[in-house]
Amino acid sequence: MGDGTAAADPEEAEQATGGIRFWPGTDVGRVRDHNEDSFLVDKKLSLYIVADGMGGHAAGEVASSMAARTVRECLAAERDALVEYEQGHGGTTRKDILRLLEASVQQACSAVHEEGIRDESKRGMGTTLDALLVIGSRGFIAHVGDARIYLYRQGSVHQLTEDHSLMNELLKRGRLTREQIEKVQYKNAVTRAVGVYESVEVDVFDFDVLPGDRFLLCSDGLSGYLEEAELPKLFEEIPEEKLTPHLIDLANERGGKDNITAVVVRIPDDESGVDKLTREVNLKLDILHKMPLFRFVTYQELVRVLNITSVRNYTEGESVVDEGDEGDELYVVLTGRVKVHSGDTTLVELGPGQHFGEMALVDKAPRSASVSALQPSKLLAIKRRDFFEMIKKDHDVAVKLLWSFLGVLAQRLRSTSRELGEAREQLAAEDLTHELLGETTQVEILADDAPSEGGTDAKLIETAPDLEPVDLDDEPTPAEVEVDVDPKE
């Protein structure tokens, strides 16, 4: 672990369990007289932590060091559960790991808070904390504060964490433009910190880790001097073993007003499985991103959506859903082909990128049609319970998804109304023809009634594929819409 100093011997510290390589470093900067940042690396756990303390009179460095150590101790005490998850034995799930990681941060928060109460000189001390835990092909992140974790993947850089800062909140709410940032008096103020109070809200999530992925964990003393657009070039042109000192030097050259800490982590290449795993992860991300429902979400948010999905494999002729059953899942076709049918009547066939059952995310109505695999198929499924759990935790994602949902439903309602109008015209024409021929035909035409539940029109609404999203150019943007999610849903 580093508490205000860089790793004593980078050559010894750069190889972790499973071939993961890492390069940590920290610097006091050009203005501060002491370093309140800490980093921690545990090779055996494949755990990487960056913490930026606050509190003055050396209390900040106490808080950051204590928090990082406490998280490691809590995870080390549950090493058996981590091993069980990696080996697929014992029933430990990724949700168990996320709960364990969050509990570790809460324990750290309590420890720092209690120390502040015990020692009057440290009262009110706290720290940001970012932890990356790698287990097999999964990454687990815990995040509190305004330090950051970046992912470099296939030539692009993505910020995986969202700053818990006053400045970011003002930007999100449209109260501040990026041009006005420099004029903000308390732009470094954080809205969440470990240890200031007895507990803290922790962002935790997991994601697929691909061979060759690289991560940068850094305090705001570095990220404050970096533009995300310049990071891909730095990852590409600077040798990995020199990237950490290069970034620290860069921050100092651009001002060095704060302590600077960075940990670069490299996942090893695995030629045997890289192509298959990479293709599958990219396929899931690409298909979700192209769906109208997810058109407003960022890459960071899309990763969180992917967390609540599961992949299902179906053989030819196997039933996916049955008409009349209560629905609670949205399905997206990844590979293969399925048919939507009622009895022996095929309503539509769906292929890769198309989806069905989205109405199940908002109600528990019976399925209006059956779906079966026409060939071996791989489907992505999202459960209603997991969907609501996600949007309850992240209000920004909730606004974007529910706004998109309204757009999709509005488009389908318009499409259904248009088709009903065409059907009425056709029936009226047939009725007129029969009258002219002297035939009497009893025809009942639905006037302005909504489609009957479970009827043909209801099937149409739920299963219509490849519909373009509704044009919302003249409507308010998602950021202007307030959505109140009932926590009892």
Instruction: Transcribe 419-475 into DSSP letters.
Output: HHHHHHHHHHHHHHHHHHTT---------SPPPPTTSHHHHHHHH--SPPPP--TTS
Q: Is the pLDDT of residue 270 over 80?
A: no
Q: What are phi and psi of 24, to 5 degrees?
A: -95, 160
Q: Is the pLDDT of residue 484 over 70?
A: no
Q: Is the pLDDT of residue 273 over 60?
A: no
Residues counted in the chain: 489
Kindly indicate the confidence band of residue 470, based on its pLDDT and cuts at 50, 70 and 90.
Answer: very low
Q: Which pLDDT belongs to residue 243? A: 97
Q: Which of 360, 370, 288 is nearest to 323 (CA)?
A: 370
* Class for the domain spanning 2-268: alpha beta
Q: Is the pLDDT of residue 13 over 90?
A: no
| Domain spans, the chain | 2-268
Q: Where is 329: in which H helix or E strand? A: strand 329-335
Kindly indicate the confidence band of residue 467, based on its pLDDT and cuts at 50, 70 and 90.
Answer: very low
The answer to whether the beta carbons of residues 221 and 52 sit under 8 Å apart is yes
pTM for the whole structure: 0.70
Q: How many beta carbons lie within 10 A of that of residue 370, not counting itself?
A: 19
What span, in angstroms and rounded, lies between the C-alpha atoms of 374 and 315? Answer: 8
What span, in angstroms and rounded, lies between the C-alpha atoms of 401 and 341? Answer: 28
Q: What confidence tens digit (pLDDT) does each residue in 155-167 have?
A: 899 999 999 988 7
What span, in angstroms and rounded, lies between the C-alpha atoms of 333 and 392? Answer: 26
Q: Which of 362, 358, 364 is nearest to 464 (CA)?
A: 358
Specify which residues 377 forms β-bridges with. Answer: 314
Q: What confidence tens digit (pLDDT) does each residue in 82-130 have?
A: 999 999 887 899 999 999 999 999 999 999 999 999 999 999 999 999 9
Q: For all residues of the chain together, what is the average pLDDT?
A: 82
Q: Is the pLDDT of residue 476 over 70?
A: no
Q: Which two tokens stand for residue 249?
A: 């030097």
Q: What confidence tens digit (pLDDT) does each residue in 319-360 have?
A: 999 999 988 999 999 899 999 999 889 999 999 888 888 888
Lowest model confidence (mean pLDDT) among 8-22, 188-202, 254-268, 436-450: 436-450
